[in-house]
Amino acid sequence: MKISTVLVANRGEIAIRIFRACVEIGIKTVGIFTYEDRYSLHRYKADESYQIGSDNEPLKPYLDMDA
């Protein structure tokens, strides 16, 4: 089974390194971010990125796996 897309549920330098590695081996990337992180670099390094949580929750959405 070949991996075609990777969701990176992390932010900051770790996420950027994962995105960079995926680009090198031809894997599409998806990132998630909260409202507070809307201008963070990891959001723009992903092929696709989606906001999670509401605008008044800075960190809680990263910890809510069910959402």
Q: If we measure between CA atoms, which residue out of 62, 65, 66 comes closest to residue 42?
A: 62
Q: Are 13 and 21 in contact (CB under 8 A)?
A: no
Using 50, 70 and 90 to split pLDDT, how confident is the model at 67?
low
CATH number assigned to the domain with residue range 5-60, chosen from the 4 options 3.40.50.740, 3.30.565.10, 1.10.3430.10, 3.40.50.20? 3.40.50.20
pLDDT at residue 48 in the model: 96
Q: If we measure between CA atoms, which residue out of 49, 56, 58 comes closest to residue 9?
A: 49
- Amino acid 46 reads A
Q: Residue 57 pLDDT > 90, yes or no?
A: no
- Chain-centroid distance, C-alpha 51: 9
Please report the sign of the dihedral spanned by the C-alpha atoms of residue 11, residue 14, residue 20, residue 26.
Answer: negative
User: For the whole prediction, is pTM greater than 0.85?
Assistant: no
pLDDT at residue 34 in the model: 86
pLDDT digits (tens, 9 = 90+) for 3-46: 999 999 888 899 999 999 999 999 999 999 888 888 999 999 99
